[in-house]
Structures are given as C-alpha cells and as structure tokens.
Structure 1
Amino acid sequence: MTAHFARIEPTIEARLLASLGEVAGDAGGSLDRHVQPGLYDRLDWLDPTHRQLWPDAPLAIAAVRRGEDALWLPIRDDGQRHGRALASWYTLAFAPLFTPGTDAATRTLLLDRAARLLRDRFATINLWPLEPTDAAALHRAFAANGWLVRDSFEAAHWVAHTAGLDFDAYWANRSSRLRNTVRRRARKSAVACRVFTAFDAQAWADYEAIYAQSWKPAEGSMAFLHELARAEGAAGTLRLGLATRDGRAVAAQLWTVENGVATIHKLAHLESEREHSPGTRLSEAMFRHVLDDDRPDLISYGNGDEAYKADWMDERRERRRLQLFNLRSLTGLQRAAAKALAKAPLFR
C-alpha cells in the first residue's frame, strides 16, 4: 500500500511589534542593506526616521509570517486611534516590507492578514508616498478586510531613463533650450564644481551653511541628513556636490547612487548667487559625474512637480496616498462620513 500524505501549509502568524528592535530580531537580517535593494525598505532608514523625526511617536508594526516569508508594515501611532506610515518628507517611496523572494500570492495573503490585524489598533490610517503598484496592492488588501479606502494623488515623481548612456549621449537628448542655457551660463560665471564620493566634514558643513541661507524652508532635521550622508558615504553610495565661486560654497546637492539607480535627494543654492546660476552649473557637473562614472539605469529627481525637473528628466510618474477608514470602528465610520461630507482630506 502506498501512503499518501497531505501537504501541510505553514500557518500564518501575525502580531504587532512596538519597536524597530523587535523588527530587527524578527527579520534576522532580511531588512539589511545587502538584502534589500531599496534605500527606504531598510531598517537603517527606518531607525533614524523614527529616532530623529518622530522620537515620541509609539510604533505599531504589523508583522506577519508564513513559513520563511514575512511582511512588516511600519506604522507610527499618532494617538486618537490614528496611524500614519513611518515615513517623512525625506521618504520618496513608502512600501510594505517583504522578505526577498516572497511570491505574489503569498504577499497577498500576508497583506490581507496585516489589514485585519491593524483593525484592532486603528480607526484610521494614512499611508504615503506610495508607488502606484504598492498603493494598488494595499488598496485591495484593506478594502477586502473591513476598511474603506480613499486613493488620491500625492506627488509627482520625475525620472530619466539612462541605461547605456554616458553624459554626452544623455545631454544630446536634452532640449536645445536647456543645453544653450547651460552653455551661456558657463561662459558668464566662474563657478567651480566638485563631487565628493565619501563623507567629508568640511563639505558637509558647507552643505548645511548653504541650505541655511538658501530659498528653502527650514530643514526638518539636518541631523537626519547628516546621519544619512555619513552612512551612505561609508557604503560608497554618497554623491555630494558643491559649487564654489571665488572660493565660497554657493550651491550643494545630495545624491545617492546604488543598484543602478541615482537619486537626487536635496539641493540648494544661495539666493544671492542666482545671477551666476550655481545650481544649474552644479546639476550639469553632477549628471556628468554620475553618468560617466556610475552609469545608472535610472535617475530619480525625487518627489515634486517643479517645472525645471522636466528639462532634466524623461518621464513624470506619480506617488499615491491611501486614507484608510476602519468600518468596524465607530470612530472610523464617523471619520469616513465626515470626509465624505466635507469632500476634502480629513487628515494629512
């Protein structure tokens, strides 16, 4: 007689974790740099985000596991049963975090269980900024598990497709208006540019001084950016650009380059130097260095729909925002009704 054994599927385990330390223990290295290709999907991004930007906010991290596959959805608790993504204005893309290799069907199972788990903690949750594919997956999971979902546009996201291109090839694809503008300004202004690929204390001090005197609003946490620059410098992914005129630092840009993607995080110039166009000159130098030396497949100009980005980039993409209302919660129902009546976002 031949014995037939039924396949036993792993059970799904779900719990809320209250700290990133617990996540680290649960993940066992699967959210580290050498495993997760995306900067925003790592513990070494989430930890300073919480510690530097939201130090007083409790965390409620949905941790769901099925065998070797796991999901973590990091939420900060804003009180009054409202949760938000553990993200900030520095986070260009928030997403559910999976162990590498988790297949699509298992991801769906894990997301469904996370949506049910979070009903016990929150009446409303706000998730942003999301890639459209991540927004769609989260939308399906929460809508199927007792949540009303409102999906809205959050921000534009500009990219340039640069696979196989050095700077000259990329530059030939730019508009004649941009190329002529850069050429004219190069003739008129004695601006020198330098790109740092490792953390340099003096260069960073210049970056902070420029930012403090620029047209930009007060930075949310220069300490966060300092920590980021040090970490990425140590990893070899930092590209910090400085433009000087007459020996004075007048423009700065913070980029990272990793896994075929160059990301422009922050840039600033002194408003008093506008006539010399140091920001434009530095942009040309940064693009030249990154394209000739790093050869990325994609350049991301961060989130925002500033007109100048269209000159340097090829494609306008979107980031999405999900507002989630727990329909099994009286508070969630009330907030959903108030939003529908007001026809405007109830919370940001």
Structure 2
Amino acid sequence: MRATREYHSLDQARQAVAGRLDSARVPGLFDRFDWFSSLHHHCFPDMPVRILHGQEDGREGWLFLLSPAPRRASAIANWYSFRWAPVFLGAPDAAVQQKLTEAMARQLLKSHAQIDLYPLEETGPLVSVLRQAGWFTVQRPMGGRYLLDVNGRSFADYWAERPGKLRNLVRRKGRNSPYTLSIESRLTDALWRDYIDVHSRSWKQAEPDAGLDFLRDLAERESAAGTLRLGFARIDGQAVATQYWTVEHGVALIHKLSHDSAHDGGSPGTLLSHRMFEQAIDQDRVSRIDYGTGDNGYKRDWMERRIALHRIDAFNPRYLSSWLPAARTAISALVG
C-alpha cells in the first residue's frame, strides 16, 4: 500500500482530489469535497483540518476531519450533515475498505490522543478497524433519521397509507385555503430573501449568519445543477412557509423547513409538505425521501422507517491524558 498522506489544509486536499470527489463521480451529497469544503469555510473557519488519504491499486479512502483542539480530531460535520463516513473511490470491496481505513487510523495514532465521529449510520466495521489500529473505542446511539422508501408507489398510493389524522388535516386546511403553493428549482436573490424572512418569523431559533451563508452556498450549487427544490406557501404574495429540499440520483433530502408561527392555524407548512412530497414522488420519481437528523414527532406521520445514528469516541492509550476521558465516556455509554 502506498503511504497514507495527511493534509492540513483544504487547498492541499483539493489539489490531491483533483475533481474526483465531485457530483459527477460521487452520488452522495455528504461524500463530496465541496460539501466538506463549504461546511468548513462557513461553519468552522478558524478550526484546522486533518484530511487523511489512503490509496492502493487505484482505490482510495478519505477521512475528512477537523482538529478542534491539540491532538484531537472530529468529523467535519454538524447539524446540516445527515451522515458522516469515510469516503471511498475506485469501488473497493469491504476488505480493501477496511485496509485503507486501518492505514489512515494508524496514521492518526501517531499524533492524536482522541477522535470523535458523528453522525454515523453504521459503526461495526469502523469500530473494528479503529481497535485493530490500536484505538480504544466507545460507541453509542445518538438520535436517528426518518426515511421513506417509495418502492414504486404513486403519491396517491403513498398518501392513502398516511395516518388518518394527517390526511384529514390536509383535507380540512386545503379546502378554500388562502395559500398559494410553489416549488422553485432555480435560486434568485428574491427567493432567498423570502426564505430568510420566513425563517426569521418561525418558531425556530434564528439561524446564525454562518449557517445561512452555508445554506445559500449549497442552494447556489444545487440550483446550478437543477437539483434544488425550494418550496413556498404564500398569502397575498408574502411567503409564510418554506421548505428547502434537494433531489438527485433518486433521493430527496429535506434540509430545512420553516413557517411563520402567526399562521399556525392555517397549517401552511403541512400543506406545503403535501405538495413537496407529491412532486418528489410523482414528478421527480424519487425512490427515497430522507428527513434528516432529529426525532421530531411530526416526521413519523410522513415517513415509514427510522434508522439509528451513532457516535464513536476513540482514545489513544499511548497518551495518559486520554485515559480519564476514555473511562468517563465508557461509563456514560453504559448508563445511557
């Protein structure tokens, strides 16, 4: 195996990647270089990166990590990330993936005392690899994601299987509704102003400027690619509910949704969801809809499957400073 390389800047890593982690070659949004680069630029601008690269016979593995403190590494991820995982190129099989990841984990062992990785869909292989490389690891469940596998259904078939309470709500609120619904695939400055305006009047905590800049950057890229789905409910021309989706490779991702709490009685957000799901299923012909991280109760009415997300904390036993945090983390995992 070629020696594992470590990059301490995104510019260095970008040159090494040479476009191999773009949307044309990587179907998953959360595995692309632009995703990690934009997230770091807007949300972690002052935090160093640690990017690991292993290679064997044209097959590659990448770990995109931050360094929030000396001798510590964390996944480049936050609440916008539906998942984090090692990224592989060249279609390596499970054995080669394990070999590449173990080489990168051993490289980290030379200079790091602690690693934390979240959100992970699957932990078994990664835990095994980290332990083989010499790390003491603790894994624990931490939240989940709600998914809908369409399985070839039409929207009418899907909707007929929703809870009666939800269907009745849409029927009642949709009757003589004052709201005009629209879904845009091309971003404009006016649409983005409407999006920000709705969010500022929603029940949610105000989005930090860095987060809005990140979301705008993502929306611009997805708009250029034709994969953006920005939905609005309006009354007398004023936006009162909005939803931010992307749709590609048969998967719809629901990134953000907001509504003006002054319009709770009219349920514009629910009516807009009905329209967004209908378009995703019947027009975009998606095979899956992903509601992102979080166990919000309303998601269960729209989705049919929950997957658990996990966190891995790994500690380097060569550093005495990691022993006490390792013990505390292990105890915390045991008591839940």
Cα 1:169–1:187, aligned 2, differ >3 Å: closer, same or farther?
same
Q: CA deviation at 1:162?
A: 0.9
Q: Give distance in 2, aligned partners of 1:41 and 1:339.
A: 28
**Residue among 138, 141, 158 paired with 2:129:** 141
Larger Rg: 1 or 2?
1
Instruction: State, as a whole percentage, how many aligned pairs show the same letter.
Output: 39
Taking structure 2 as the reference length, the TM-score comes to: 0.95
Deviations 1:30-53 (A, max 9, x none): 211100010010011111111001
Taking structure 1 as the reference length, the TM-score comes to: 0.92
- The aligned residue for residue 255 of structure 1 is 245
Deviations 1:281-311 (A, max 9, x none): 1101111111121010000011111111110
Q: Give distance in 2, aligned partners of 1:340 and 1:113.
A: 25
Residues 79, 293 of structure 2: 8 Å contact kept = no
Counterpart AA for 2:326: A
Counterpart AA for 2:234: T
SS in 2 for 1:78: strand
Q: CA deviation at 1:319?
A: 1.2
- The aligned residue for residue 129 of structure 1 is 119
Q: Give distance in 1, aligned partners of 2:241 and 2:269.
A: 6
Deviations 1:4-24 (A, max 9, x none): xxxxxxx33112111222222
Q: CA deviation at 1:338?
A: 3.6
- The aligned residue for residue 325 of structure 1 is 315
**Residue among 20, 24, 29 paired with 2:19:** 29
Q: Give distance in 2, aligned partners of 1:309 and 1:334.
A: 39
SS in 1 for 2:106: helix
Q: CA deviation at 1:340?
A: 4.2
Residues 138, 329 of structure 2: 8 Å contact kept = no
Structure 2, unmatched stretches of 5+, are: none
Q: Give distance in 1, aligned partners of 2:187 and 2:153.
A: 27
Residues 35, 100 of structure 1: 8 Å contact kept = no
Residues 106, 134 of structure 2: 8 Å contact kept = yes
Residues 239, 256 of structure 1: 8 Å contact kept = yes
Give the root-mean-square deviation of aligned CA atoms: 1.5
Q: CA deviation at 1:180?
A: 0.9
Q: Give distance in 1, aligned partners of 2:16 and 2:308.
A: 32
Q: CA deviation at 1:166?
A: 2.4
- The aligned residue for residue 281 of structure 2 is 291
Q: How does 1:95-244 map to 2 (within 5 A)?
A: 95-132=85-122, 135-187=123-175, 189-220=177-208, 221-244=211-234
Q: Give distance in 2, aligned partners of 1:223 and 1:144.
A: 40
- The aligned residue for residue 274 of structure 1 is 264
Matched, 1:65 2:55: yes
SS in 2 for 1:155: strand
Q: Give distance in 2, aligned partners of 1:324 and 1:80.
A: 15
SS in 1 for 2:40: helix
Q: Give distance in 2, aligned partners of 1:64 and 1:161.
A: 34
- The aligned residue for residue 77 of structure 1 is 67
Q: Give distance in 2, aligned partners of 1:163 and 1:197.
A: 25
User: How many residues in Structure 1 have an aligned counterpart in Structure 2?
Assistant: 332
Residues 194, 243 of structure 1: 8 Å contact kept = yes
Q: CA deviation at 1:102?
A: 1.4
Q: CA deviation at 1:100?
A: 3.4
Deviations 1:101-128 (A, max 9, x none): 1121111101111111111221111101
Q: Give distance in 2, aligned partners of 1:213 and 1:58.
A: 35
Residues 138, 333 of structure 2: 8 Å contact kept = no
Q: How does 1:34-45 map to 2 (within 5 A)?
A: 34-45=24-35
